[in-house]
């Protein structure tokens, strides 16, 4: 790929792609950290958040040294032969001090091609703590820095262990050296356990040094297999193999003790050297390792979170199940307060139903429905307004009409705005209180804070619950009213109920028109009887229609069906409102499910 006169190499393109993958791992850890942070009542979350932040810090350092050489650190206890191994790699017997004095290695000894390559270590660990060495063999290390570290069991703990800790954090590959004569040292294995979880595959190499001192058959058949099992159990991760070497054999002057010469020629040093100077030193390998190490850090955090979650899963699943069941029952109790059969609510439902019918119906019956809808609002006081002869009765009628109007409007608002939600919330609270002590015990066993036993932590925000209860109820009630209005406003029904009145009106009109054109004018008695007949037919149709409304769209029927609809939604567990503790339980259980993918 060209840009101007510059050529971007495949390795550079691969590096860009790798940085994108590393950022993806960072995002995964940040997502896990945010999820853990959203469950503050879960006590293990505090330590897990720190691990997330530490992993993000280490990945950040990986990115900073992305274009720098691979750091291969030799780690081991005193007497394991770390310095001897570095000298064997370098081809110089005294490159790093070896011997019986303890501690042998007092500073980091870095084998590199150019001194400038070690500046990154000097900057981060201090110039006084880093010694630079070079040799003819080091000239082949184009992409690797080999580091000899102080003993993990150094007698100068305060000075040396922090350096070892920091070096491991900066390393891309660990060469863990065991003394084959005493390989299963618990202090050494325990020291490395927190670190090796962040290394995997080729980033973690186990070496058993001084193997020439042991019987070859016993070494192959007993010591090495047992060491592999021991490491695997202690570190809780697979270790495919342990390389058996004799580092001293590859010095120019091994200085063998006449009483302790090599007992056999089985030695995998050449394989180890080829790994370091061949595979590790390959151009582009450093990118592969840092990508792998970033992935290992992500996986390490995921495994830690999953392990903590699995510890509490049984108790938290039981707590979550009980919270769900309790919420269902509490929601039903709360909705019972909304489903009230008192006169005020029934009046409101009736008013809303006739208002919707008035919008749908046509013809003479539709006119009566519209008038009836207004009468329901203003009440019988309307009649008193038009009553002649008694002004006091007229004034009383006006007042009665206005009062009934306010009552009807209040009833409508009571239905549409859910004025009973305060009572509903009390019912909800009492239902939760009855079951919460047992739920709290399961939560505490699932390592939630002791404060979770308080009922206040279990209740959702009262305003949010009130609003959601009212919304659930109103949606169901509006739906049932709308459905009833649709069923009672079909074209066939409108035709049947309007036909009698329209037929008589048409017949009367036809007779009147025929008499008019024949100059045979009809008497007033005809029109009076015609008007009465039309009125009787119209009112009879309307009364029958009201019977149908009561039968197929009665207020009790509408509120009952609305209640059943909401109850069904709760049975399917569409939560009425997010329970703060229940949400945290779901979050913790979800962490285990997410990290196991």
Q: What is the Cα–Cα distance from 359 to 520, expressed in whole angstroms?
A: 41
In a domain, residue 412? The reply is yes
Q: What is the pLDDT of residue 69?
A: 85
- Residue 105: pLDDT band (50, 70, 90) is low
Q: What is the DSSP letter of 2?
A: E
- Residue 355: pLDDT band (50, 70, 90) is confident
Are residues 353 and 416 both part of a single domain? Answer: yes
Are residues 377 and 235 both part of a single domain? Answer: no
Instruction: List phi, psi (to 5°) of 488.
Output: -90, 10
What does pLDDT average to over the chain?
80
Q: What is the Cα–Cα distance from 563 to 325, expressed in whole angstroms?
A: 19
In a domain, residue 1? The reply is no
Domain count, the chain: 2
Who's near 549: CB < 8 A, 6+ residues apart? Answer: 353, 357, 488
In a domain, residue 20? The reply is no
Q: What is the pLDDT of residue 396?
A: 44
Q: What is the pLDDT of residue 578?
A: 57
Q: What percent of the chain has pLDDT over 70?
A: 81
In a domain, residue 288? The reply is no
Are residues 262 and 396 both part of a single domain? Answer: no
Q: What is the pLDDT of residue 432?
A: 78
Q: What is the Cα–Cα distance from 308 to 588, expressed in whole angstroms?
A: 9
Return the structure tokens found at 177.
Answer: 């050296």
> Which residue, among 204, 193, 194, has the nearest Cα to 234 in the 3D structure?
193
pLDDT at 412 exceeding the cut of 50: no
What does the pLDDT average to over 152-177? 85
In a domain, residue 50? The reply is no
What does the pLDDT average to over 426-444? 84
What does the pLDDT average to over 244-251? 92
pLDDT tens profile 20-52: 888 899 999 999 999 999 999 999 999 999 999
Are residues 359 and 455 both part of a single domain? Answer: yes
Are residues 259 and 379 both part of a single domain? Answer: no
Q: What is the pLDDT of residue 56?
A: 92
Domain boundary pick from 244, 265, 282: 282
Are residues 213 and 87 both part of a single domain? Answer: yes
Contact (CB, 8 A) for 104 and 83: yes
Who's near 523: CB < 8 A, 6+ residues apart? Answer: none
Are residues 213 and 321 both part of a single domain? Answer: no
In a domain, residue 226? The reply is yes
Q: Which residues of 313-350 are buried (b: 16+ CB within 10 A; e: fewer)?
A: bebbebbbebbbebbbbbbbbbbebbbeeeeebbbbbb
Are residues 203 and 317 both part of a single domain? Answer: no
The CATH number for 200's domain is 3.40.50.300
Q: What is the pLDDT of residue 342?
A: 54
Are residues 251 and 317 both part of a single domain? Answer: no
Q: What is the pLDDT of residue 8?
A: 59
Are residues 434 and 581 both part of a single domain? Answer: yes
Return the structure tokens found at 134.
Answer: 């070079």
In a domain, residue 23? The reply is no
Pick from 28-32, 167-171, 182-186, 454-458: least confident: 454-458
pLDDT at 552 exceeding the cut of 50: yes
pLDDT at 4 exceeding the cut of 70: no
Pick from 73-82, 244-253, 280-289, 557-566: least confident: 557-566
Q: What is the Cα–Cα distance from 175 to 83, expressed in whole angstroms?
A: 12
What does the pLDDT average to over 519-533? 85
Pick from 60-69, 212-221, 495-504: least confident: 60-69
Domain boundary pick from 235, 264, 282: 282
Q: What is the pLDDT of residue 589?
A: 92
pLDDT tens profile 358-407: 888 998 888 888 888 887 766 544 434 334 344 444 334 434 444 444 44
Burial (0-12, 13-18, 19+ Cβ within 10 Å), 157: middle
Are residues 112 and 227 both part of a single domain? Answer: yes
Give the domain range for residue 535. 312-595
Are residues 271 and 411 both part of a single domain? Answer: no
pLDDT tens profile 181-211: 999 999 899 998 888 877 877 888 999 999 9
In a domain, residue 8? The reply is no
pLDDT at 312 exceeding the cut of 80: yes
Between 17 and 86, residue with greater pLDDT: 86
Q: How many CB atoms lie within 10 A of CB 38?
A: 15
Contact (CB, 8 A) for 13 and 1: yes
């Amino acid at each position: 790929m060209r840009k101007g006169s510059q050529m971007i190499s495949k390795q550079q393109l691969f590096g860009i792609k790798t940085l994108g993958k590393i950022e993806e791992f960072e995002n995964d850890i940040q997502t896990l950290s945010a999820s853990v942070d959203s469950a503050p009542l879960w006590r293990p979350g505090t330590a897990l958040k720190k691990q997330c932040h530490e992993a993000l810090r280490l990945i950040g350092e990986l990115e900073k040294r992305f274009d720098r050489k691979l750091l291969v650190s030799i780690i081991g206890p005193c007497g394991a032969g770390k310095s001897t191994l570095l000298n064997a790699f370098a081809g110089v017997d005294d490159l790093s001090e070896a011997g019986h004095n303890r501690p042998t290695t007092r500073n980091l000894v870095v084998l590199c091609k150019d001194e400038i390559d070690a500046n990154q270590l000097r900057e981060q660990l201090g110039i006084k703590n880093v010694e630079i060495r070079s040799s003819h063999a080091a000239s082949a290390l184009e992409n690797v820095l080999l580091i000899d570290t102080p003993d993990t069991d150094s007698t100068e703990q305060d000075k040396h262990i922090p350096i070892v800790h920091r070096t491991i954090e900066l390393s891309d590959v660990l060469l863990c050296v065991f003394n084959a004569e005493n390989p299963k040292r618990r202090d050494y294995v325990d020291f490395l356990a927190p670190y090796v979880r962040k290394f995997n595959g080729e980033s973690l190499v186990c070496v058993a040094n001084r193997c020439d001192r042991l019987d070859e058959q016993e070494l192959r058949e007993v010591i090495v297999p047992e060491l592999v099992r021991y490491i695997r159990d202690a570190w809780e991760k697979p270790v495919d193999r342990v390389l058996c070497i004799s580092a001293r054999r590859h010095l120019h002057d091994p200085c063998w003790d006449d009483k302790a010469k090599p007992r056999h020629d089985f030695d995998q040093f050449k394989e180890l050297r080829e790994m370091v100077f061949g595979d590790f030193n390959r151009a582009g390998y450093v990118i592969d390792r840092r990508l792998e190490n970033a992935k290992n850090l992500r996986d390490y955090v995921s495994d830690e979170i999953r392990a903590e979650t699995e510890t509490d899963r049984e108790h938290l699943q039981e707590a979550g199940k009980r919270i769900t069941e309790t919420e269902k029952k509490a929601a039903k109790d709360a909705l019972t307060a909304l489903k009230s059969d008192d006169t005020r609510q029934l009046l409101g439902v009736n008013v809303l139903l006739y208002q919707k019918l008035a919008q749908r119906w046509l013809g003479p019956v539709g006119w009566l429905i519209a008038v009836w809808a207004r009468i329901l609002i203003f009440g019988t006081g309307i009649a008193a307004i038009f009553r002649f002869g008694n002004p006091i009765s007229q004034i009383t009628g006006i007042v009665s009409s206005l009062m009934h109007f306010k009552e009807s409007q209040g009833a409508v608002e009571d239905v549409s705005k859910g004025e009973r939600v305060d009572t509903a919330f009390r019912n909800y609270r009492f239902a939760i209180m009855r079951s919460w002590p047992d739920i709290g015990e399961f939560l505490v066993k699932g390592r939630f804070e002791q404060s979770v036993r308080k009922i206040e932590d279990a209740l959702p925000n009262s305003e949010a619950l009130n609003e959601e209860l009212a919304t659930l109820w109103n949606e169901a009630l509006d739906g049932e009213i709308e459905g009833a209005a649709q069923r009672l406003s079909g074209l066939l029904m409108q035709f049947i109920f309007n036909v009698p009145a329209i037929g008589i009106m048409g017949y009367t009109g036809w007779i009147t028109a025929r008499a008019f054109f024949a100059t045979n004018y009809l008497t007033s008695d005809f029109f009076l009887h015609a008007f009465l007949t039309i009125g009787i037919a119209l009112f009879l149709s309307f009364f029958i229609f009201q019977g149908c409304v009561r039968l197929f769209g009665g207020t009790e029927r509408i509120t009952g069906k609305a209640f059943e609809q909401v109850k069904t939604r709760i049975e399917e567990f569409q939560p009425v409102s997010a329970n703060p503790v229940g949400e945290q339980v779901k979050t913790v259980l979800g962490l285990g499910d997410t990290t196991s993918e």
